[in-house]
Amino acid sequence: MDFSLSSEHEMVQKLVRDFARSEVAPTIRDWDRKQEMAPETLPRMAELGLLGVCIPVRYGGQGMDYIALGLVCEELEAVDTTLRVVMSVHMGLNSLGLLQWGTEEQKQRYLTPQARGQRYAGFALTEPGVGSDVARMLSTARREGDEYVINGEKMWISLATKAHHVLWFAKTGGQGVDAHDAISAFILETDRPGVTKGDLHGKLGVRAGSTGWIACQDVRLPTANRLGEEGEGFRIAMACLDNGRYTVAAGAAGLIRASLEASVRYARERQAFGHTIDRYQLIQQKIAVMVRDYEAARLLYLRAGWMKNRGLRNTRETSLAKWYATEASFQAASEAIQVHGAYGYSDEYVVERYLRNARGAMIYEGTSEIHQLMQAGYALGLRQDAPLRCELPAYDAEIWQAEV
Amino acid sequence: MPNTVQVYIDHFNGVASGASWETLGAARKVAEALGGGVTALVLGSGVESLAQQAFEFGADEVLLADAPGLKDYRAEAYATVVSRLAKDAAALLMPNSSRTRELAGMVAVDLETGVTPDAVAFEVKDGVIVATRPIYAGKLLIKEICAKARPQIVTLRGRAFPAPAAQSGRKGTLTKVDGAAEAKTEVVEYKASEGGVSLSDAAIIVSGGRGVSNNPKLTPPAGMTDEKQIEVWKAQQGFELVRGLAAALGAAVGASRAAVDAGYVPYAYQVGQTGKVVSPDVYVALGISGAIQHLAGMRTSKTIIAINKDPEAPIFKVARFGIVGDLFELAPALTEALKKKLGK
Amino acid sequence: MNIVVCVKQTPDTAATITVQDGKVSWGDAPLVINPWDEYAVEQALRTKEAHGGKVTALSLGPEAAREALKHALAMGCDEAILVSDPALEGVDSLVVSKALAAAIQKIGDVDMVFVGRQAVDTDTGVTGPQLARRLGWPALSLVAAIPALDPGAKTITVERMIDEGRQVVRSPMPAVLSAVKELNEPRYPSFMGIRKASKATIPVWSAADAGLASVPAAVLAWPEIIAPPKVEIKVELIEGATPAEAAAKLADRLVAEKVL
C-alpha cells in the first residue's frame, strides 16, 4: 500500500496552492463582504485548466486522474470554499456526469467546451420545496414529439447566473410510475427561450460565490438533450452526487488544514499570562484534534479517489468521506475561532469565514443526516448498490492523455 | 607584490561609493596582518581625482587605468584590466555593489581563484582571510576561506565596516597603467529606476499609526470646520513626518490598519494581518501601539525601532530600540540627526 | 534559437534553516526550484515563443535536482539535462561555472543562456558572470527588461538594474543573462507540462559526459557554519533631556550598531 503522492500529484498540488494563495487570498475578504464572485475567478480557473483537470484530453480536458481532482479541491478550499464549489458543480456534478452517462455526441458538444473552460456548467436538482426528498421533485418534462417541454424552478444552484449548461432533472413519468423511475436528466443550455435566472444573497457563508435560482417556463429541449434513458434520472443524479460529494469531502479536508494552520500561527504569536498560548494544554488539545481530523479526512477522500481511479463503485466510501470531513471542518473552524479569541470573531482574521463556509457543506450534497442513514443502511444490510448501466470510467493515463 | 592588498574603487560617473573608502580601511587591516601595503585600483575615464581621494583614505599606491574605453563600466573590459593588475596580489577587496559582484566573479575565473561576496566581517589567520558572510538570506552565517589560490577576492558589504578618517593632503605613489581592454557590449544610456520603493521589497520601512494623527499643536487652516476633515488633515500632517523620515532613509512608507481605516492613508500602505506582511531589515514604528494584528505583519523585521508616548505599548516588547515621548518632536529630530549621521 | 536556462534546486525559502552536526539542515521543508531561476525559465520560454527554437533546462546537482528540472519542463522547457557527479559535490562556484560551461559547449550551438541572479541557499550570485567569462560571451547580469532582440543579427539590448537606476546595454549574442524579478512574472506549470515532465526521462551526465576531463578542486572552503544566536529582544530605551538629544543619541546607537 503506497501512501505517497506521485511527483505529478505533488506538482498539481503546488500549482493550485500557489495560484490560490497569490491570486485569490489577498482579496477574498473583500469579495466575501461584497457577496460577489470576483470576476477573474472563473476565467483564471479556466485558463489554468482547472475546469477540465480530470477529463480526458480528447474531450478538452487535462487528462489527470481523480486523485488530482481531490488534491485540487483540497488546495482551493484551503483558501476559500467558493473556489471549490466551482469544481464541485462544474466538474464533480456536471462534467463527470456527462463523462459517465453522455453519448459521444453529447460529450463532444457539451463536455469538451466545459473541460476547456469555454463554458461553465452547473447542476439543477434542488427545488424550493425539495431537498433531500429528490424523488418528490415538481419540475416536469412533458414529451411532445421529438422535444421535451420543461417547466419548474430550481433553487440553491451554484453558478446559476454564470453557467452556460446545467444538468436539469425533471419528472417524465406519469401516474403509476414509481417516483424513482419517473425522473429524467437533461442537458439544458441556460440561454434557451423560457429560462430565467437570478442570484440569491444573504447566505451565511460561501459569500464570494455565485448561488441562485433557475426557472423554466415551457422551455423546449430536443430529445438529443436528454442525458441517459428516460426514467433513469434519479440514478444519474445519485451517480453525479458521488462525484460532487467527493469534491466536497476533499475541500472540507482542506478547510480543516487551513483552520489548523491559522490556529498554529496564532497560538505561536499570542501571549497570555506571560507566555505564548501554544504552551497551554487546552489550546494544544484543539490543535491535536484538528490534526487528527485533517489526517483522517484526507485519507478518506484519497481512498475514494483511489477507488474511482480503479473504476470501483465508491458510493459508500465517498459518502463516508463527505460526512466525516464536513462535520469535522465545522468543528475545526469553530475551535480555530476559539483559539483566536475575540480576533477570531472578526473578519480581520480568516477563521470566521471558514466557519461560515463550513456550515453549508453539512447541508448540501447530502445532509449529514442523509449520510448517516446511508452508512447505517450499508452496515445493517438494508442498503446495497445495484450496478449502474453506465459506470464512471476508471482512470487510464494512456487513454486519457491521448489526443484522439 | 605577493603581500599587497588591492582595493577596487567602485564609482559611478566618477563619484566613488562611501563603501569604497570603508573597503580601503578594511584593506589596511589585512595589509598589516600580511606585512604589506594597500594599493587602490582606479578604472575609468577622467577619474584621476579618485586617485587623490584614495590616498586620503589610506591607499599607499594607486594603479590608475584611465582610458576612453573605460568610461562606462562594462564587465568584460573592467575584468580584463583588473585581472591584469591583480594577478600577483595577495588579496583583492571590493565594496559590494551591482558592479563588483560580477566583476569579482569574472576576475576570479581569469585568475583561477575564489571570490567571497558580501562579507560582513573578517579576520586574518596565517595570511588567510577568514571572511564571514550570510547565506540563506542571512538565516545562517559562514566563515569562508580561500586557503591557497591567490589573490583572495572578497567583496565587503556596505556600512558593515567603519570608514577611515580622511587624511587631507596625504600622498602616495600614482602609477598609470594600460587601460586597453576589449568588450563586445556597448552602453546605450542610463535611466532612472522605475517607481518608488515597494513596501514588500523595502529594506527599510517607516510606518505611522493612529498616534500620528493627533498633534495638539496643529491649527487647522482657516475655514476648515468639519471634525472629521480636521482629523484627517491633522493625520496627513502627521504622515508628512513619517514620509520625511522615510525619505531620509530611502525607506518605504507603511501604516497600521487604524490609520488606513480612518482614511489617513490609502490601503496600499497597510501593514498587518490584513494588508501586507513585510520583513524588512529595519522597521520604524511611529505612534503604533503594536497590537497583535499589526505585529503579525511586521514582527519578523530584523530590527524594530519604536517611538510612542505610551511606555506600556506592546510595540516596545518587540522593538530593539525605542524612545518614549512625543513623536511630533522626536520624528523630525530623528530625521535631522540621521541625515547628519549618514552624511545626507 | 537554441536557449539554455540553468536552474538550481534549493530549499523552500519558508524553511527553518539550522545547523546540525556542522551541516546546514532545512528539516523536512521541500526542495524547490530556486525562485530566481523561475524568472530565468520564464524569460527563456518567452524568447522561444517570440522567436522560435528550443529551451533546454540544465542543472548541476544531486539526483534530487531532477525535481527542479521537472518544474522547468512543466513550465514548458523542451528538454532537461542533469549534470550529477560525486566529484561535483560540495564544490564552489569556480568549479560549478566550469562544469556548466563545459555542458553548454557539449550541448552546442547555444544562442543564449539564462540564469537566475543568485541561488537562495548559497547567495553567491557569481555563477552567471563566471559562466559568461568561461564561455567568452558577454555577461549581461541583473537584467530587468529586454527591449530588443534580433536573432538574425544576433544582437540584444537589455536594461540592467544597477544601484543607481538602470543601465541600457547593447550586446552581441551569444550572451549569458541573469534575471531579476522585475523582468517578468513566471507562469504556473500547465497540466500538460506536468504530465510531460513526470513522464520525461532526464539524462544524467557525469562530469566526463559534460566534457570535463577532470574536475578541479574547489578553492574555497567553509570551515565554519554559524547560526546567528537568537537574541532575546530587550528594548533599549533611549532618553534625553530634549527630544533633539534623545533623537541624536538614537541616531548614534543605530549607526554604531550598523542598523542603518
For chain B, say whether A213 makes contact (Cβ under 8 Å). Answer: no
Helix locations, chain B, DSSP H: 18-34, 48-56, 75-86, 100-110, 227-249, 257-261, 292-298, 315-318, 327-341
Using CA atoms, how far apart are residues A293 and A335, in angstroms rounded to an integer?
Answer: 12
DSSP lists the bridge partners of residue B322 as B306, C237
Judge: C258–B159 Cβ closer than 8 Å, yes or no: yes
Mode of pairing for the β-strands spanning C79-83 and C204-205: parallel
Q: Hey, which residues 12-51 in chain A have their CB within 8 Å of chain C?
A: 12, 15, 18-19, 48-49
- Chain B residues whose CB is inside 8 A of the A348 CB are 257, 273-274, 293
* Proportion of chain C above pLDDT 90, given as a percent: 87
Split at pLDDT 50, 70, 90, the class of B241 is: very high
pLDDT number for residue B195: 62
Q: Answer yes or no: is B182 within a domain.
A: no
Q: Answer yes or no: is B48 within a domain.
A: yes
Is A261 an active-site residue? no
- Count of structural domains, chain B: 2
Tracing cell 463516508 back to the chain, one arrives at A320
The residue out of B176, B194, B226 marking a domain boundary is B176
Of A352, A365, A391, A398, which one is the catalytic site residue?
Answer: A365
- Exposed, middle or buried, A197 (CB in 10 Å: 0-12/13-18/19+)? buried
- The answer to whether residues B132 and B255 belong to one domain is no
- In this prediction the ipTM stands at 0.93
The answer, yes or no, to whether residue B207 has pLDDT greater than 80, is yes
Using CA atoms, how far apart are residues C33 and C214, in angstroms rounded to an integer?
Answer: 28
Judge: A349–B293 Cβ closer than 8 Å, yes or no: yes
Judge: A348–B292 Cβ closer than 8 Å, yes or no: no
The answer, yes or no, to whether residue A327 has pLDDT greater than 80, is yes
Give the type of residue at A128. P
For A29, the closest chain B residue by CA position comes to B274
Residue scoring higher pLDDT (B279 or C132) = C132
Judge: C198–A7 Cβ closer than 8 Å, yes or no: yes
Residue scoring higher pLDDT (B137 or C93) = C93
Phi and psi at residue A212, in whole multiples of 5°? -165, -160
Mean pLDDT, rounded, for B126-150:
94
Tracing cell 434542488 back to the chain, one arrives at A126
- The answer to whether residues B240 and B107 belong to one domain is no
Mean pLDDT, rounded, for A377-391:
97
Of C24, C160, C163, the CB nearest to B140: C24
- The answer to whether residues B311 and B221 belong to one domain is yes
Residues 6+ apart with CB under 8 A from B115: B104, B105, B107, B108, B153, B154, B155, C93, C124, C126
pLDDT number for residue B1: 59
Split at pLDDT 50, 70, 90, the class of B122 is: very high
- What is the DSSP-derived secondary structure letter of residue C135? H
Give chains near C: 3+ CB pairs under 8 A.
A, B
Using CA atoms, how far apart are residues B71 and B82, in angstroms rounded to an integer?
Answer: 15
- Domain holding B308: CATH number? 3.40.50.1220
Which cell numbers hold the place of B268? 496600499
The residue out of B156, B176, B196 marking a domain boundary is B176
Split at pLDDT 50, 70, 90, the class of B194 is: low
- The answer to whether residues B61 and B166 belong to one domain is yes
Tracing cell 498633534 back to the chain, one arrives at B215
pLDDT number for residue B292: 86
Q: Answer yes or no: is B104 within a domain.
A: yes
- pLDDT, tens only, B61-73: 999 999 999 999 9
Range of the domain at B131: 5-176
pLDDT number for residue B193: 74
Of B257, B274, B295, the CB nearest to A269: B295
Please say whether the beta carbons of C11 and C24 come within 8 A.
Answer: no
The answer, yes or no, to whether residue A219 has pLDDT greater than 80, is yes
- The answer to whether residues B149 and B266 belong to one domain is no
- Chain C residues whose CB is inside 8 A of the B136 CB are 11, 17, 24, 120-121, 123
Which cell numbers hold the place of A240? 453525479
The answer, yes or no, to whether residue A349 has pLDDT greater than 80, is yes
- The answer to whether residues B147 and B247 belong to one domain is no
Which pTM value belongs to this model?
0.90
Mean pLDDT, rounded, for C166-174:
96
Mean pLDDT, rounded, for B14-26:
93
Split at pLDDT 50, 70, 90, the class of B222 is: confident
Q: Answer yes or no: is B142 within a domain.
A: yes
For chain B, say whether A29 makes contact (Cβ under 8 Å). Answer: yes
Q: Answer yes or no: is B90 within a domain.
A: yes
Mean pLDDT, rounded, for A220-239:
97
- The answer to whether residues B73 and B29 belong to one domain is yes
Q: Answer yes or no: is B79 within a domain.
A: yes
Tracing cell 463550513 back to the chain, one arrives at A358
- The answer to whether residues B170 and B208 belong to one domain is no
Judge: C255–B341 Cβ closer than 8 Å, yes or no: yes
Split at pLDDT 50, 70, 90, the class of C210 is: very high
pLDDT number for residue B160: 86
Using CA atoms, how far apart are residues B145 and B123, in angstroms rounded to an integer?
Answer: 10
Closest CA to C76 of C201, C202, C186: C186
The answer, yes or no, to whether residue B344 has pLDDT greater than 70, is no
Q: Answer yes or no: is B188 within a domain.
A: no
pLDDT number for residue B196: 62
Of B293, B295, B299, the CB nearest to A348: B293
Tracing cell 514620509 back to the chain, one arrives at B243
Mean pLDDT, rounded, for C16-22:
90
Q: What is the mean pLDDT of chain A?
A: 97
- The answer to whether residues B134 and B223 belong to one domain is no
- Chain A residues whose CB is inside 8 A of the B299 CB are 269
- The answer to whether residues B76 and B211 belong to one domain is no
- pLDDT, tens only, C91-114: 999 999 999 999 999 999 999 999
- Domain holding B34: CATH number? 3.40.50.620
Give chains near A: 3+ CB pairs under 8 A.
B, C
pLDDT number for residue B199: 86
Please say whether the beta carbons of B338 and C254 come within 8 A.
Answer: yes
SS3 B180: coil
Task: Label residues A154-186 b or e (16+ Cβ within 10 Å = b).
Answer: bbbbbbbbbbbbbbbbbbbbeeeeeeebbbbbb
- Exposed, middle or buried, A297 (CB in 10 Å: 0-12/13-18/19+)? buried
Q: Closest Cα of chain C to B50: distance in Å? A: 19
Which cell numbers hold the place of A259? 483552520
- The answer to whether residues B162 and B57 belong to one domain is yes
Split at pLDDT 50, 70, 90, the class of A55 is: very high
DSSP lists the bridge partners of residue B15 as B12
- The answer to whether residues B145 and B237 belong to one domain is no
3-state helix, strand, coil in chain C (%, to 5): 30, 30, 40
Mean pLDDT, rounded, for C79-88:
97
pLDDT number for residue A112: 98
For chain B, say whether A345 makes contact (Cβ under 8 Å). Answer: no
DSSP assignment of A249-290? HHHHHHHHHHHHHHHHHHHHH-EETTEEGGGSHHHHHHHHHH
Judge: A269–B273 Cβ closer than 8 Å, yes or no: no
Please say whether the beta carbons of B5 and B89 come within 8 A.
Answer: yes
For chain B, say whether C19 makes contact (Cβ under 8 Å). Answer: yes
* Proportion of chain A above pLDDT 70, given as a percent: 100
Split at pLDDT 50, 70, 90, the class of A250 is: very high
Give the type of residue at B175. T
Ramachandran bin of A115, using left for φ above 0, alpha for ψ from -120 to 50, beta for the remaining angles: alpha
- Chain A residues whose CB is inside 8 A of the B274 CB are 29, 348
Most C CBs within 10 Å: which of B76, B82, B118, B317, as the mutation test of the C interface? Answer: B76
Q: Answer yes or no: is B284 within a domain.
A: yes
Taking the alpha carbons at both ends of chain B, their separation in whole angstroms is 38
Using CA atoms, how far apart are residues B130 and B116, in angstroms rounded to an integer?
Answer: 10
Task: Label residues B9-43 b or e (16+ Cβ within 10 Å = b).
Answer: bbbbeeebbebbbbbbbbbbbbbebbebbbbbbbb
DSSP assignment of B48-105? HHHHHHHHHTT-SEEEEEE-GGGSS--HHHHHHHHHHHHTT-SEEEEE--TTHHHHHH
The answer, yes or no, to whether residue A191 has pLDDT greater than 80, is yes
Residue A5 Cα to chain centre, angstroms: 22
